[in-house]
Amino acid sequence: MTFELTQDYLDQLHAYIEAGDDERLRAEMEELYPADISEILNELDAEQAHYLLSLLDESVGAEILANLDTADRTDFLKTFTSEQLAPLVNEMDSDDAVDMLNEQPIQVREEVIGLLEDREQARFIIDLLHYDDGVAGSLMQKELIKINVNLTVNACIEEIRQQAEDVENVYAIYVVDDQGKLLGLVSLKKIVLSQKYVKIADIYDDDIVFVETYRPVDEVAELMQKYDLDAIPVVNVQQRLLGRITIDDVVDVITEQAEEDRQVISGLAGEVEEDDSVWLRSKVQLPWLVAGAVGSLMAATVINGFQSELGKIAALAAFIPIIGSTGGNVGIQTSSLILQSLADTSGLTTTLGRRLLRTLAVALINGLVVGLIAGTYTFLIGEPRLFFVVATSLLSVVLLASFMGTVTPLLLSKTGINPAVASGPFITTANDLIGIGVYFLIAQWLLSEL
């Protein structure tokens, strides 16, 4: 049954916490998944959340901490001492433990590592701490099952039993040589179906996808998506097996990247949440709003420069909104498609010339249709002389907006700037300015002929 957090449920938990009713609280939490409890902790203050977590098993508490948002977890863990944190870190997967410890002050981090009872876990964490964010090494966990290529199936099964105690999910059995170099993998099915004295060397599969520790995380995500992998092994430059990256960590990376791109496209200059402070939200949103306002003022200046045309035919003003909105919409649509193609680095790369030809062909069709519809409207409002002005302007605006939506993200990508900034308020404001200028220039040209 899906858990739904309601205000009534929260009020009941608050009452249990105030009363110190540990038995009731434990009973309530036993009915929930760790992810559900994480959701509850986000709604409690730090002291209440600490108290609730202290009532749970350390293994459950470790999983709950791993599920918390970074900002919430950082504030929450300020209520913990190093002695209280160490047992929870002891129960975590090494990659989750490193993520959490990297959020803590150096002193706390060192104290927790020194207090860990599981010294192998401590070694795993120390190994992972030196990897920079954004590379495969920062995503990997040390917990996995590896067996020597010279073992028999019978000996392999015994080895799996011993190693599997520390591995939450067994996706594959990795095969290594005497120096720890990754050779391939063997499935559990093959192990189960093979005779016990058969050697692993005779049944393992050497066709394996792996990544080096320095590979970018987006490359890891692409590989796992392309080959439909639940986990991917990580090796060093000598091809020695160091760890593995599981699909849940890759999903987190993809989600974070999508959120960052969404905020940039929306015109947010930095990471912001709905429940952040008023000043923080204002500081993040204000730069793009100012840029948009400046662009609109420039567009107003352009309109002011064509007062004589507006004085002759007031109906020209009625079509300014459709010119601006159409250019902005086309620019956003086109740049979004280009961003998708830039994000997908698999497959063949389309040349700039071919991209432009395809984009302009689509824009030509769309511009003709929209232009004819808007032009027809000029007859309905009794301004037939504006037919060619409006129709030609919309066709031109659609073509120009498509060109900008294609070229701008490609140029930004070439210069090393995040191409997502080509969308949102930037491209909308630019197209407003260009579109209105083109509209009045065409109006001035065509109407002067009448």
For residue 402, give the CATH number of its domain. Answer: 1.10.357.20
Same domain, 221 and 103: no
Distance CA 73, CA 75 (A): 5
Give the pLDDT mean for 170-192. 92
Residue 347, pLDDT score: 47
Distance CA 244, CA 166 (A): 14
In a domain, 1, yes or no: no
Domain stop point among 133, 162, 186: 133
Same domain, 429 and 324: yes
Residue 140, pLDDT score: 93
Arithmetic mean of pLDDT over the chain: 83
Name the pLDDT band for 277 (thresholds 50, 70, 90).
low
pTM (whole model) above 0.75 = no
Contact 194, 153 (CB under 8 A): yes
Query: Which of 69-78, 157-166, 253-262, 401-410 is the most confident on average?
Result: 157-166
Same domain, 89 and 224: no
Residue 201, pLDDT score: 94
Residue 262, pLDDT score: 60
Domain stop point among 235, 252, 269: 252
Which one has a higher pLDDT value, 382 or 292? Answer: 382
Same domain, 48 and 96: yes
Same domain, 107 and 151: no
Model pLDDT for residues 207-233, shown as the tens digit of each residue = 999 999 999 998 898 899 889 898 999
Q: What percent of the chain has pLDDT over 70?
A: 83
Which range (26-35, 94-103, 242-251, 329-338) has the least confidence? Answer: 329-338
Residue 423 has pLDDT above 60, yes or no: no
Residue 267, pLDDT score: 53
Q: Which residues of 294-321 are buried (b: 16+ CB within 10 A; e: fewer)?
A: ebeeebeebbeebeebbeebeebeebbe
Residue 365 has pLDDT above 50, yes or no: yes
Contact 430, 331 (CB under 8 A): yes
Same domain, 89 and 169: no
Distance CA 313, CA 241 (A): 75
Residue 276, pLDDT score: 58
Residue 42, pLDDT score: 85
In a domain, 354, yes or no: yes
Model pLDDT for residues 382-408, shown as the tens digit of each residue = 888 889 888 998 999 899 888 888 887
Same domain, 93 and 215: no
Same domain, 322 and 236: no
Distance CA 223, CA 204 (A): 21
For residue 275, give both structure tokens: 């429940």
Say whether 211 sits in a helix, a strand or coil.
strand
Distance CA 378, CA 393 (A): 13
In a domain, 111, yes or no: yes
Distance CA 51, CA 331 (A): 52
Same domain, 399 and 437: yes
Beta strands in 83-230 (DSSP E): 146-148, 173-176, 182-186, 211-212
Residue 374 has pLDDT above 60, yes or no: yes
For residue 205, give the CATH number of its domain. Answer: 3.10.580.10
Q: Which residues contact 408 (CB under 8 A, 6 or more apart)?
A: 335, 422, 427
Same domain, 194 and 84: no
In a domain, 44, yes or no: yes
Residue 157, pLDDT score: 92
Same domain, 221 and 353: no
Residue 410, pLDDT score: 78
Residue 284, pLDDT score: 61
**Element containing residue 243 per DSSP (H, E):** strand 241-246
In a domain, 272, yes or no: no
Residue 363, pLDDT score: 87
Give the pLDDT mean for 156-166. 88
How many domains does the chain divide into? 3
Residue 407, pLDDT score: 80
Residue bearing tokens 């999910």: 169
Name the pLDDT band for 294 (thresholds 50, 70, 90).
confident
Beta strands in 57-206 (DSSP E): 146-148, 173-176, 182-186
Say whether 173 sits in a helix, a strand or coil.
strand
Domain stop point among 70, 98, 133: 133
In a domain, 416, yes or no: yes
Residue 443, pLDDT score: 83
In a domain, 361, yes or no: yes
Residue 16 has pLDDT above 60, yes or no: yes
Distance CA 155, CA 421 (A): 56
Name the pLDDT band for 287 (thresholds 50, 70, 90).
low
Dihedral sign (CA 258, 262, 265, 271): negative
Structure letter (DSSP) for residue 444:
H
Name the pLDDT band for 15 (thresholds 50, 70, 90).
very high
Residue 54 has pLDDT above 80, yes or no: yes
For residue 46, give the CATH number of its domain. Answer: 1.25.60.10
Which range (7-11, 14-18, 310-314, 385-389) has the least confidence? Answer: 310-314
Residue 210: domain span: 146-252
In a domain, 273, yes or no: no
Same domain, 125 and 161: no
Residue 88 has pLDDT above 90, yes or no: yes
